Amino acid sequence: MHSTFAAIVVRKSENRFIQNIEERKISDLPDNDVLVKVCYSSLNYKDCMSYMGNLGVTRKFPHTPGIDVAGVVVSSKTKTHKEGDHVFVVSQALGMSMPGGFGGYVSCPSEWLLPIPQGMTLKECMIFGTAGLTAAFSVNEILKSNPEVEAAEIVVSGATGGVGLLSIAILAKLGFKVSALTGKDYANELLLLAGADKILDRSSMNDLSDRGLLSPQWNFAIDTVGGSVLSTFLRSSRQESTVIATGLVSSQILNTSLLPFILRGVRLIGINSEGKNINDRREVWSRLASEWKPDNLGVLANEVSLGDLGGSVDKMLSGAHLGRTVVNLNLI
């Protein structure tokens, strides 16, 4: 084990935040149960917020972001984990209030760690990451209502983003036909690789009128952007349909009508992956490692080093990012 390691450190300097790769010591980390050598992390929207110094995500700086980690246990104070175990942490406070995966080592409470599921590599686990866990919980909500696979009309927004693309890929793996709603006219190849059946321009589901009901189209919608797109999904949902709200990239405000709920029995379900208990997490991870695992998972992600990560953050914040970005801590 090295006593120092490279990490991205975000520091507050007067009125702005600056990000650099610094050499950190193991002794800089909090003294938790398990020390993990990070092999891979991944980039989520929340990481970008922490990276830019958003105080709603991270209160104390200097800070190392990275909410997703897959790696190998180096030392453990508990019997539940031993040196050499392949483990991961996803969607906990790691990388928000505690130094995260954009550095060579993390120190974690043991209850946050799960074993890498059988049938999944460390890297695959990070291709899923928090985005994949959120997609999996969203798909689970769809499956709970026993939909007819052939007949279900499903739409997913933010389709080229992490949560959106993985939702499409998991649903396609399960045989569903999914419409991908995107703002990018250059991402058809990726969306088709993920398994999208139809590709819709974002403007086609962005009704700004005050009509309470729109022509019914969807049995299920997974929304990652919020605002007027979520409102349009609700108003264009069919009888007894389900809309799943996971994100707010466009807006956290929802101005909409009650008519879809009262006249069409539409259900609006929110997903908070961080709040899910360990048993529910274990269950969806074991499915992600088996029957829900997209055949071409690898093509949905690109791999970067810590040094390249800033460019990926810029792309994600400007809405130009494609798919998932995995951070390989062994790349220089």
Q: Site residues (CB under 6 A) for ligand NAP?
A: 44-46, 130-131, 134, 158-164, 182-184, 202, 224-225, 246-250, 271-274, 316, 319, 321
Q: How far apart are the C-alpha atoms of 165 and 322, rounded to whole Å?
A: 9
How far is residue 33 from each of residues 2, 36, 73, 75, 113, measured CA to CA in Å?
Answer: 18, 10, 11, 8, 10
Q: Compute the least distance from the CB of residue 302 to ligand NAP, in Å.
A: 12
In sequence order, the β-bridge partners of residue 126 are none
Beta carbons within 8 Å of 45's beta carbon, 6+ residues apart: 161, 162, 247, 249, 316
Q: How many residues does the chain have?
A: 332
Cβ distance to ligand NAP smaller for residue 219 or 273? 273
Q: Compute the least distance from the CB of residue 318 to ligand NAP, in Å.
A: 8
Q: Compute the least distance from the CB of residue 233 to ligand NAP, in Å.
A: 12
Cβ distance to ligand NAP smaller for residue 22 or 280? 280
Q: Compute the least distance from the CB of residue 137 to ligand NAP, in Å.
A: 8
Q: Give buried/exposed letters for 199-235 (b at 16+ CB in 10 A, else e).
A: bbebeebbbeeeeeebebbbbbbbbbbbbbbbbbbbb
Q: How far apart are the C-alpha atoms of 332 and 302, rounded to whole Å?
A: 16
Cβ distance to ligand NAP smaller for residue 44 or 237? 44
Q: Compute the least distance from the CB of residue 102 to ligand NAP, in Å.
A: 15
Cβ distance to ligand NAP smaller for residue 29 or 327? 327
Q: How far apart are the C-alpha atoms of 284 and 286, rounded to whole Å?
A: 5
Cβ distance to ligand NAP smaller for residue 90 or 122? 90
Q: Compute the least distance from the CB of residue 18 to ligand NAP, in Å.
A: 22
Cβ distance to ligand NAP smaller for residue 213 or 269? 269
Q: Compute the least distance from the CB of residue 325 to ligand NAP, in Å.
A: 8
Q: Compute the least distance from the CB of residue 296 to ligand NAP, in Å.
A: 18
Q: How far apart are the C-alpha atoms of 12 and 180, rounded to whole Å?
A: 39
Residue nearest to ligand NAP (CB): 161
Half-sphere exposure (Cβ direction) of 18: Cα atoms closer than 13 Å: 6
Cβ distance to ligand NAP smaller for residue 247 or 294? 247
Cβ distance to ligand NAP smaller for residue 73 or 322? 322
